[in-house]
């Protein structure tokens, strides 16, 4: 046999998978992908956009994003960055001035001691969290996630081939997981703990006392990393924000996640970041360097302006969210059967809709919160998200980051819709 023939014989796969159809056979896709669920927040929002494109008067309360414009001085900084020629790749973890501005902010507002080398800027806090999980989780290791949780946490853990361990906060404790619950859930396989405060989807905010109690548990387990998602920090109706990473005994175990999407109404700009121990920051830099590189250079310069400015804009927006919270919660409480919590932060109401599950309309039985959310969208064109995707199957999430007028109209429509269920 000629040499080339021999080489190709040994290099050929011995058993070839034959796919039924390249276009439709999901066996073609990786097991990793096939295990992944689509983001429910984005799926409902896509459906709402499609209905709107068909001419329906849709009110979209499914995606969690500010309805405000980005502050003018931030927009101006982006325009200047374009004119100044910031059109090249940035360093992978972000421009030095942005990392310094973030380190300064974390020191001043959060009592976190980081230098620029501890900061990695990413394409949104979403990528920041994915970077951290991919950097630290080995296949089969456990990540404790406080429920109700943000939809993407569980799916990101799947991508990292870890195992989510869900610990649910009770309604009586305002959906918040206690230190005792956490302690019970820790095993030798626990690698990380992941939660948001203020919380998406419940709006609950952990107090300093509660976080210190959680810190006491974490301090006993030096191999566990806390991923503290503080993206809603500036939307807090109760007062000051406490960062768990500022507790001295565990500061080397905490990764603080934050960003510009919510506080500065910059969802589309895609700038998020972590403040982390150097080892983890360097690991995220490495991963990001192979997947996306530094986030948009123009957006980074805009983010510098946001943090160099004062807090007028975030505070004004938070004031509007508080007014809307009171409006929406007040109206929802008038709807028979709903159990409505009062969120202390973020911009979501998360009513318990279990009184309506199992009921029917026009011969169609509504079994789950996801089905109820879909029924509301198709019936009265208000998009919400079923709590199933947040680990809370009795609830639906309603964003109140919308105009007062739209919120009033939306809740009235929901009320009319629910009244049809028998």
- Where on the chain is the footprint of ligand PMP (CB under 6 A)? 64, 124-126, 150, 196, 200, 229, 231, 259, 261, 267, 272
The H or E element spanning position 397 is: strand 396-399
User: Cβ of residue 8: shortest distance to ligand GLU, in angstroms?
Assistant: 47
Compare residues 202 and 394 and give the one whose CB is closer to ligand PMP. 202
| β-sheet bridge partners, residue 99 | none
How many angstroms separate the CA atoms of 135 and 129, rounded?
Answer: 10
Compare residues 381 and 400 and give the one whose CB is closer to ligand PMP. 400
Restricting to residues 117-136, which ones interact with ligand GLU according to CB under 6 A? Answer: 126
Token reading at 92: 């992978």
Pattern 4-43, ligand GLU, x by CB under 6 A: -----------------------------------x-xx-
Q: Which does 40 bind (CB under 5 to 8 A by kind): ligand PMP, ligand GLU, none?
A: none
Q: Indicate the SS3 state at residue 120.
A: strand
Pattern 139-158, ligand GLU, x by CB under 6 A: -----------xxx------
Q: Which does 259 bind (CB under 5 to 8 A by kind): ligand GLU, ligand PMP, none?
A: ligand PMP
User: Cβ of residue 12: shortest distance to ligand PMP, in angstroms?
Assistant: 44
Q: Which does 295 bind (CB under 5 to 8 A by kind): ligand GLU, ligand PMP, none?
A: none
- CA of 348: how far to CAs of 299, 302, 324, 387, in Å? 26, 27, 10, 12
Asked if residue 183 lies in contact with residue 177, where contact means CB atoms within 8 angstroms, the answer is: no
Q: What is the DSSP letter of 112?
A: -
Cα–Cα–Cα angle for 334, 335, 341, nearest 5°?
75
User: Cβ of residue 422: shortest distance to ligand PMP, in angstroms?
Assistant: 35
| β-sheet bridge partners, residue 194 | 145, 227
Restricting to residues 39-98, which ones interact with ligand GLU according to CB under 6 A? Answer: 39, 41-42, 63-65
How many angstroms separate the CA atoms of 239 and 285, rounded?
Answer: 34
Q: Which residue is nearest to ligand PMP (CB)?
A: 124
How many angstroms separate the CA atoms of 69 and 6, rounded?
Answer: 65
Restricting to residues 191-210, which ones interact with ligand GLU according to CB under 6 A? Answer: 200
Q: Which residues bind ligand GLU (CB under 6 A)?
A: 39, 41-42, 63-65, 126, 150-152, 200
């Amino acid at each position: 046999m000629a040499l080339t023939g021999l080489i190709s014989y040994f290099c050929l796969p011995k058993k070839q998978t034959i796919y039924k159809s390249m276009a439709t056979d999901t066996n073609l896709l990786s097991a990793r992908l096939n295990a992944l669920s689509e983001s429910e927040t984005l799926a409902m929002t896509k459906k709402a956009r499609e209905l709107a494109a068909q001419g329906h008067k849709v009110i979209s309360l499914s995606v969690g994003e500010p309805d405000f414009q980005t502050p003018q001085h931030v927009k101006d900084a982006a325009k200047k960055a374009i004119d100044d020629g910031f059109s090249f790749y940035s360093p992978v973890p972000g421009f030095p001035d942005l990392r310094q501005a973030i380190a300064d902010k974390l020191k001043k507002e959060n009592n976190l001691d980081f230098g620029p080398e501890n900061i990695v800027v990413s394409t949104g806090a979403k990528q920041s969290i994915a970077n951290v999980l991919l950097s630290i989780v080995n296949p089969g290791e456990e990540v404790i996630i406080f429920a109700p949780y943000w939809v993407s946490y569980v799916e990101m853990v799947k991508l990292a081939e870890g195992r989510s361990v869900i610990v649910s906060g009770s309604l009586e404790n305002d959906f918040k997981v206690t230190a005792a619950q956490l302690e019970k859930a820790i095993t030798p396989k626990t690698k990380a703990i992941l939660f948001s405060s203020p919380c998406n989807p419940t709006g609950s905010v952990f107090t300093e006392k509660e976080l210190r109690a959680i810190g006491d548990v974490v301090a006993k387990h030096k191999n566990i990393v806390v991923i503290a998602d503080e993206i809603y920090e500036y939307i807090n109706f109760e007062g000051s924000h406490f960062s768990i990473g500022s507790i001295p005994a565990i500061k080397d175990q905490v990764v603080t996640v934050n960003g510009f999407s919510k506080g500065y109404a910059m969802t589309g700009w895609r700038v998020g970041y972590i403040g982390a121990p150097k080892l983890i920051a360097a690991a995220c830099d490495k991963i990001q360097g192979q997947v996306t590189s530094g986030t948009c250079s123009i957006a980074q310069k805009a983010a510098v302006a946001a943090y160099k400015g004062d807090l007028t804009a975030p505070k004004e927006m938070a004031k509007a969210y508080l007014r809307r919270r009171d409006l929406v919660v007040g109206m929802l409480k008038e709807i028979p059967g709903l159990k409505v919590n009062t969120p202390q932060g973020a911009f979501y109401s998360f009513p318990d809709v279990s009184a309506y599950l199992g009921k029917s309309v026009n011969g169609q039985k509504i079994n789950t919160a996801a089905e109820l959310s879909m029924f509301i969208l198709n019936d009265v064109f208000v998009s919400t998200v079923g709590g199933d995707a947040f680990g809370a199957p009795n609830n639906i999430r309603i964003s109140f980051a919308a105009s007062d007028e739209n919120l009033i109209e939306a809740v009235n429509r929901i009320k009319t819709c629910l009244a049809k269920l028998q």
